[in-house]
Structure 1
Amino acid sequence: MRRVLILGGTAEARALAAELAADPALHVVSSLAGRVSNPRLPVGEVREGGFGGAEGLAAWLTRERIDVLVDATHPFAERMTASAAAASAATGVPLLALRRPGWREGPGDDWLRVGSLHAAAGLLVSRGWRAGAAAPGEVRVFLTTGRRSLPVFAPLPGVWLLARSVDPPEPPVPANAYVLLDRGPYTVEGERALIREHRLDVLVTKDSGGRMTTAKLVAAREAGLPVIMVDRPPPPAGVRTVDSVAAAVAWVQG
């Protein structure tokens, strides 16, 4: 049997594990980083916790006699992706990156793309949005960039944050932030209600792609809110990348 390791934690990774587990010629192991409590578990064997960087992953690939490696982590999981590329190069285990397509701006959208979370924070301060227009005063921000990003935005003057995440951020929670614990998929109706209830002025999000969290973009468009979109990092040079589960299945089985 060919042994497959999926670096997972995404809906695409779970779908891929389910497809590959149905193939009797494959033994599939899914690895979860363990950063989310009560994660959605994929079909088949699951390993939880880190590897100890690229060297630890390379040792694990060798010890477990892994034949192919699929990086199906979040598009912003830069450290894990870099470790996968380095471990693949060190061991000779073929690597594929599975990345869902990013979001595209459409009619009626008001997006500003930036290259980093810090650039997004700087834009909030320099623009001073209020009710969709440049004006002085407190900016009320819908922040959906993950709990680990909260320290980047918490010190900003004149900014109030509705910070949504699956798990709570590390305490203490900043005085200018209200943390909303919730897990997608979300609805447009629910996102509309949040925008109204909290009188939000601007949405800050990452270009994660996927359907589970697109409702916020629709609601922002309808409400006339600008969106600060943090671009995803490129994959390491030389790593083959596909954007669908079907393409990943074909690569593993090929």
Structure 2
Amino acid sequence: MERKESGAVGGILYTVYRSNRKTCVVRVTAEGRVEVKAPLRMSRQAIQAFVDSKIAWIERHLVEIDAINRQCERIGWEEGQVLPLLGRNRVVHTAAVGNPIVTDTEVLLPSSHAGSRGALLERLYRQEAREYLTLRTAEKAKEEGFVYRQVKINGAHGRWGSCSAGGNLNFSWLLILVAPDLIDYVILHELCHTIHMNHSQSFWREVGRRMPDYGLRREQLRQEQIKTMYLYKLVQNDKG
């Protein structure tokens, strides 16, 4: 059972989610919320001290998130927009087609559904994500000797993926925007959680042993946030 409470340090408000876990982690969501996941028995003082030790990191990410949201707040549909898919930019057009079509250079959306292009785009990207991530996860698991239950696609826009205690791997459909080598990092990251359900040193050693350059890929993935937020806002603003 997860318990929720709030706190503040250095003028920054944060929400604490307590659960049966061993480590404490902090993250800044795409909306600019600061969330802390902490063990059930960890004291409020210890949690506050932990957050205080991460203040510089939190403040930097809050500034970045604010800049991204300001850049994206007035997004509207434009014919011929360029959007990424698997790290490759494609021009998005409406055309006289029955269903959305993806080519190496274009995404064609039915002109008869011009009033719901956002919904069409999301449906298309979700389908692409489901097909690609299901297949690639199976390949990586076989290569690395992992066992998992199933792959699920969700609509998270502040988290690339997660792994449940039951071995289900969950990925945001927005992950399909980024390059395959960055997707591989997220897949491996979540597969490693089938062994270590935390972000302990043992977990990161496991990731590093299987992907020595994971730190570089992780940083590159963080830089992709603007692209993913742009598409998310476009979809939400143009669902019709």
TM-score (norm 1): 0.24
Q: Between the two structures, name the one with larger relative contact order (CA 8 Å, sep ≥ 6).
A: 1
TM-score (norm 2): 0.25
